[in-house]
A and B are shown apart, each in its own frame.
Chain A
């Protein structure tokens, strides 16, 4: 089936070339600077030891997990309208997991020792379990997506042996984002993350952001190929996105209530830093670089709710697409920027040391995104070509 990715229009190759170009730039920066010099080329430091890379990782674990939002209705509830979009969801999950793994590798100080995680397996470390569930999820989606698509090409139903794996993929999807939340929410002394609602919050933001990306990509696919995911599938996806963005904002509000009504400084200060800025007790200097971003995030998410809730507005695909863009950007700022930096600021000694990513760090991140979209494009090319063949 992979050979179908080798025949495409000029636009297809141009797009692939563009993504590959970004990938190459990232590889050059990584091996030209970060590999020889170390992570000092990033904005990371002693106080904020995880930053943009890990934040992207967290966001993308969500995108990967969100594949379940099309898999579950289709396979568990036999919602036939999702028949055409399900494989796209699985392929989006594959490329998202690949990006996650790449972000972990570029974040490591000693990537050449990565296999120590397998050589010295340590079950009490959540990172060990994250390694297990992410690689497992990648395998599951590769097997299931490929099996379903090749069966479809031959005009056969999805093979019976794949069914148990498909059912397994549903709780597994939930597990990858739960385990990722556990990386943070089990750490004493990091009060921003030390909240039992972190995993549900992650899942809520994932289940709106992931399907929103899927919906936007499906609309682009409809424009550039003959493959149409179907009007009803897109509308149902819109409903899922609407419910989940409301849940996400609700969960965020719960965090605010607990922190500020309890009035416990450790719980308040990270939110205060993100949304109003914070003054360092010792130096007297105020820091608040993230303030406009965080407010933009909240406003974008609220605007998305306003746009998406009225059924008539949502029925208009242009409005729906606009709402999805608001969801993607709003949740990305929340998770891809504020979530990690905010957890580290102020530091355990209540010093306010801001983290600002560097240009090189951002370029390497962009390259990882480009690599993921390169894989996504190739997988979608295969999927849409097969579906076009079948329908022809």
Chain B
């Protein structure tokens, strides 16, 4: 027996009124059904023990190579375009090499590398943001993704202070009001993904919602469609995954390794 939304709400409402809570009520009335339905809806989901990404910086040559990635991500996740730079929201963006790799700064960098680097949440193995969150609104999933519950976040911004990569953004106002419709007219562009409320933090989620549908992250897909490529995504625990292959074939670096956060995003430079 499968449930539609209406039936679910009926049973949930009735059982709550009777003092039975949530999934427990279903377990009591239709044992096994709910768990089975949950799994049954996601037959194509990608499963990984430790999701990771390898970014080949050499493949990012023109500004549009970055733009296709940021645009795809921000549209998939209803990230508003905010004119005031101070309070902008970004999940993925580009910066100079010496800004991304602050320990690698040297006087001669300008001669060899005028280039930019793609930046996003590192989905650290030992994430400081998860350590400091007072409500577990930011947590680490079993597959390694550092995930956020926008409905539990109290907006204390401790995670923003803790993140050594500047990967987190805060909704300083209502994103629906702050979005510049002239530049980003389609906002909110993805009806399947929630918009946020003012007062909560947000960041890249490694496209967990797309992985559940068997799709690669939006940025990876967009860069491949565009033809520039340069983004590899997969399970770091699987020796045959494309990320592991990329890591075997190239020498890679990570951002601020000395801090012990163990980022899951690697860079080929």
Interface residues of A (CB under 8 A from B): 37-40, 44-47, 49-50, 107-111, 113-114, 116-117, 119-120, 122, 124-128, 131, 183-184, 186-190, 265-266, 281-282, 343-344, 347-351, 353
On chain A, the residues within 8 Å of B105 by CB distance are 265, 281, 350
Decide if B164 is an interface residue (CB 8 Å cutoff).
yes
A344 to B84 Cα, complex, angstroms: 19
List A contacts of B131 (CB < 8 A): 124-125
User: Which one of A49, A108, A347 lies within 8 Å of B199 (CB-CB)?
Assistant: A108
Residues on the B chain within 8 Å of A351, using CB? 99
Q: A110–B102 contact, CB under 8 A? A: no
Residues of B within 8 A of A353 (CB): 86
B170 and A39 contacting across the interface, CB-CB below 8 Å: yes
Instruction: Say whether B55 faces chain A, with CB atoms less than 8 Å apart.
Output: no
Residues of A within 8 A of B199 (CB): 38-39, 108-110
**Whole-angstrom distance between the Cβ of B119 and the nearest chain A Cβ:** 8
Q: Given that A40-B172, A109-B199 are contacting pairs, would A188 and B99 also be in contact in the complex, using a CB cutoff of 8 Å?
A: no
Residues of A within 8 A of B172 (CB): 38-40, 44-45
- Complex interface residues of chain B between 248 and 268 (CB less than 8 A to chain A): 256, 259-261
Task: From the candidates B84, B100, B134, B256, name the one contacting A122 in the complex (CB within 8 A).
Answer: B134
B185 adjacent to chain A (CB < 8 Å):
no
In the complex, residue of chain B having the shortest beta-carbon distance to the beta carbon of A116:
B135
The prevalent SS among residues of B at the interface is loop
Cβ-defined partner of B157 (8 Å) among A49, A124, A347, A349: A49
Sort A-B residue pairs by CB-CB distance and give the 6 closest, nearest first: A109-B155, A189-B164, A109-B199, A45-B86, A40-B172, A127-B134
In the assembled complex, the CB of B121 is this many whole angstroms from the nearest CB of chain A, namely 13
Report the contact-size class of chain B (Cβ under 8 Å from the partner): 35 or more
**A184 vs B162: C-alpha distance when bound (angstroms):** 9
Residues 62 to 96 of chain B near chain A (Cβ within 8 Å) = 84, 86-89, 95-96
B171 touches A348 (CB 8 A): no
Cα A125 to Cα B174 in complex, Å, equals: 27
Q: Which residues of chain A are within 8 angstroms of B100 by Cβ–Cβ distance?
A: 349
A265–B107 Cα distance when bound, in Å, is 14
Cβ contacts A to B, 16 pairs, < 8 Å: A38-B173, A40-B178, A45-B172, A108-B199, A109-B201, A110-B155, A110-B200, A113-B154, A116-B137, A116-B154, A119-B135, A122-B133, A122-B135, A347-B166, A349-B165, A350-B102
Residues of A within 8 A of B99 (CB): 281-282, 349-351
Contacts of A184 in B (CB 8 A): 161
Q: Which chain A residue lies CB-closest to B201?
A: A109
Contacts of A46 in B (CB 8 A): 86-89, 160, 166, 169-170
Chain B residues with Cβ under 8 A from A120's Cβ?
135-136, 152
Tell whether B153 is near chain A: CB-to-CB under 8 Å: yes
Residues of A within 8 A of B87 (CB): 40, 44-46
B26 interface hit (Cβ, 8 Å) = no
Q: How far is the CA of A110 from the CA of B156 in the complex (A)?
A: 8
CB B92 to nearest CB in A, in angstroms, measures 14
Give the shortest distance, in Å, between A117 (CB) and chain B (any CB). 5
> How far apart sit A39 and B172, CA to CA, in the bound complex (Å)?
5
Contacts of B25 in A (CB 8 A): none
Chain A residues with CB under 8 Å of B170's CB are 39, 46, 49, 109
A49 touches B161 (CB 8 A): yes
Distance A344 CA – B95 CA, assembled complex (angstroms) = 18
A127 with B161: CB separation less than 8 A: no
Question: Which of A37, A124, A266, A349 contacts B173, CB < 8 Å?
Answer: A37
On whether the beta carbons of B86 and A187 are closer than 8 Å, the reply is no
Q: Does B128 lie at the interface of the complex (its beta carbon under 8 Å from any beta carbon of A)?
A: yes
Q: How far is the CA of A329 from the CA of B170 in the complex (A)?
A: 32
Chain B residues with Cβ under 8 A from A350's Cβ? 98-99, 102, 105
